[in-house]
Structure 1
Amino acid sequence: MASASASASANAVVERVQQAAERCGRNVEEVRVVAASKTKPVSALRQVYDAGLRCFGENYVQELLQKSPQLPHDVEWHLIGNLQTNKVKPLIAGVPNLACVETVDDEKIANLLDRAVANVGRKPLKVFVQVNTSGETSKFGVEPAQCVDLVKHITNCPNLEFCGLMTIGMLDYSSTPENFKTLSNCRTEVCKALGISETQCKLSMGMTGDFEQAIEMGSTNVRIGTAIFGAREYPPKEEK
């Protein structure tokens, strides 16, 4: 059922994104929809692709490795889940059209990505720094106060291209304005430290429950799953 309506849902989300951008006087071209396709079958992704979306976000490396060869080469894949150190090499080697890793949160992961990209000889990989804006211990991400130092480290990695900052909202996936404001403040500090304009530092924030508010607060990447694909479908757990 979710697959059958994925195309129409994608179009509806794009329309809502356009309306949100217009309400706050922003150019809709500044906002990218990342279709968060975790647990969804390739058939549903194809429907969303046919609706015109080209950017898909996966949470798990294994799922990304399985899906990417089954979709057209012009798909821009974003990793939007936590990246484990032992998954860096297979990710970079197995997904040639990986466009971005949005979840870099320490120097070790940055160094491993830098090395892996160099080893396969591809163009520099775009990365976002994940910031823990809610202060929850269950969340990955660098502390806001450490954001500038990590960004500076990434700018010294020749095979990585720093593109922006990313955050996941509160535990119920509906962020508060404070989370978005914190990420926006981090961008101000990063841009000041690097001597770049704020247009050179994207903000990935906002999901199904709050992407319109995120756009109003400056988001340039909205990661939308449920509103496009329907509720996530997990395999039933085996009885013990």
Structure 2
Amino acid sequence: MSAGNSGQVATALKSVLEKIAAAAQRSGRNTQPRLVAISKTKPVEAVQEAYDTGHRIFGENYVQEFVEKAPKLPDDIRWHFVGHLQSNKAKTLLDGVPNLALLETVDTQKLANKLDSIVEQLGRPPLPVFVQVNTSGEESKYGVQPNECTALARHIRDTCAHLRFAGLMTIGQPDYSSRPENFQCLEACREEVCKALGLCAADVELSMGMSGDFEQAIEMGSTNVRVGSTIFGARDYSKKQ
């Protein structure tokens, strides 16, 4: 679908929200998982159409595209950053997106320390972050190994006063969809983190599930799903920055 086909984004978004609600009901939970509408490579007009339906949570992957797009959209959007973030681009991101609500891809102590310092410099409230875990074991994927996620979560909680450890995130297999074992791995990571840090499962979100598998992810415990192409249509990766 293209941005020019008025109404298609709104219709697709409504369908995804209905599927999320049904999956949550099947899982027996009382709370509705959060939908992050991933708008990478998509024009402002497409995001605005989704916003006009009442949706407020959107995600971007590329820093340069993000800092150019966000100022053109309403400032009550709760943005998530869901791409790999290089430490040298952290200030550009936080400077350019004052309404960044959550950063899902912290995968090193170096990045956590950099973010912590920048948030302090900017005088922002503590920034919620997820630790990204490489549950598929692929070298092409970013994220800490499952046996390293507790150490990074502890580092964020104990030494990064201007960040708030809020959960764990994974991407999954090469086609960017996860398999049950990836979801099970992230759930096991949460159990370890909660045990080590004295946290309740409700305090540690699981961000897993994308366009191809968000319903299954919700049934397996995801609290945060990242859906892009199912809402906005196929992406134009020539615009990747």
Matches within 5 A, 1:1-240: 1-3=1-3, 4=6, 5-29=8-32, 31-156=33-158, 157-235=160-238
Could you tell me which runs of 5 or more consecutive residues in structure 1 were left unpaired when the two chains were aligned: none
Contact 1:18/1:28 (CA < 8 Å) preserved in 2? no
Contact 2:79/2:99 (CA < 8 Å) preserved in 1? yes
Once residues 174 and 147 of structure 1 are traced to their aligned partners in structure 2, the CA distance between those partners, rounded to angstroms, is 21
AA at the equivalent of 1:149: A
Once residues 30 and 215 of structure 2 are traced to their aligned partners in structure 1, the CA distance between those partners, rounded to angstroms, is 14
CA positional deviation for 1:27: 2.2
Once residues 164 and 28 of structure 1 are traced to their aligned partners in structure 2, the CA distance between those partners, rounded to angstroms, is 16
Contact 1:100/1:126 (CA < 8 Å) preserved in 2? yes
Contact 1:17/1:28 (CA < 8 Å) preserved in 2? no
Contact 2:210/2:225 (CA < 8 Å) preserved in 1? yes
Contact 1:22/1:28 (CA < 8 Å) preserved in 2? no
Once residues 215 and 2 of structure 2 are traced to their aligned partners in structure 1, the CA distance between those partners, rounded to angstroms, is 22
CA positional deviation for 1:236: 8.3
| TM-score where L is the length of structure 1 | 0.96
Q: 122-131 vs 46-55, which deviates more?
A: 46-55
Once residues 94 and 111 of structure 1 are traced to their aligned partners in structure 2, the CA distance between those partners, rounded to angstroms, is 19
Once residues 153 and 199 of structure 2 are traced to their aligned partners in structure 1, the CA distance between those partners, rounded to angstroms, is 12
How big is the alpha-carbon RMSD for the aligned residues of Structure 1 and Structure 2? 1.2
Contact 2:41/2:239 (CA < 8 Å) preserved in 1? no
CA positional deviation for 1:169: 1.0
Q: 1:103–1:236: structure 2 CA closer, same or farther, 3 Å change rule?
A: closer
Name the count of aligned residue pairs.
236
- What SS does the aligned partner of 1:165 have? strand
Once residues 173 and 90 of structure 1 are traced to their aligned partners in structure 2, the CA distance between those partners, rounded to angstroms, is 27
- What SS does the aligned partner of 1:142 have? coil
Contact 2:80/2:104 (CA < 8 Å) preserved in 1? yes
Percent sequence identity is 59
